[in-house]
């Protein structure tokens, strides 16, 4: 999916969407989108209805958002999909990632997308999943909530309705309905 985001955004822009308008040749925005004057949007990008793009936000291409998202102060997005209601309100980086409905990133959360060794990203779960890509960020399930200043290492998957403590470095796959207290400690919600 990550390799197809740009082409799909271009198709949506070319075909048009009812209730959306062109902001620029390669940027399509829905009704009631608010964009701060200091935000930068480089296409292709499709911004969902009712989304708020705050001061200093930097959208640098191949981005599709759902409705009612918040792209916040000094947040940077590239090659990603944000489903409805995603909040990345303060100093976030989202690269090569997919964030589920109502996922929330606390201030300073980074969805890291490139391994230091330059090798392809492998998603490590019960078995390893070779992505064939050098850049893969986070995959967050619906309602995932990531605490402030956490780092989501390349190829990390966080399940639906899972919460992560602040200042946590994540690597691997975390199940749905958990509270993640550290990289190696996840407890089921009661």
Q: Which residues are catalytic?
A: 90
DSSP H helices in the chain: 5-15
| Per-residue tokens: 59 | 């959208």
DSSP code, position 54:
-
* Alpha carbon distances (Å) from 142 to 49, 59, 79, 98: 19, 22, 19, 10
Dmax (CA) for the chain in angstroms is 49
Instruction: Please answer whether residues 158 and 178 qualify as being in contact, where contact means their C-beta atoms are separated by less than 8 angstroms.
Output: no
Burial of 28 (0-12, 13-18, 19+ CB in 10 A): buried
Q: Residue 158 belongs to what H/E stretch?
A: strand 156-158
* Alpha carbon distances (Å) from 19 to 22, 54, 164: 11, 22, 36
Pairing of strands 128-130, 122-124: antiparallel
């Amino acid at each position: 999916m990550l390799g197809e985001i740009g082409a799909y955004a271009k198709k949506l822009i070319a075909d048009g969407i009812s209730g959306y308008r062109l902001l620029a040749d390669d940027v399509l925005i829905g009704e009631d989108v608010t964009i701060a004057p200091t935000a930068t949007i480089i296409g292709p990008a499709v911004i969902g209805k009712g989304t708020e793009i705050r001061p200093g936000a930097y959208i640098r291409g191949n981005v599709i958002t759902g409705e009612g998202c918040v792209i916040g102060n000094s947040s940077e997005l590239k090659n990603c999909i944000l489903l409805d209601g995603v909040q990345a309100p303060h100093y976030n980086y989202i690269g090569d990632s997919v964030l589920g409905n109502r996922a929330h990133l606390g201030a300073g959360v980074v969805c890291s997308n490139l391994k230091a060794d330059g090798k392809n990203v492998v998603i490590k779960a019960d078995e390893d999943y070779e992505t064939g890509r050098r850049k893969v960020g986070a995959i967050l399930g619906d309602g995932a909530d990531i605490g402030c200043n956490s780092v989501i290492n390349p190829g990390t998957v966080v399940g639906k309705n899972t919460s992560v403590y602040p200042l946590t470095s994540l690597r691997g796959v975390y199940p749905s309905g958990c509270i993640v207290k550290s990289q190696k400690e996840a407890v089921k919600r009661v």
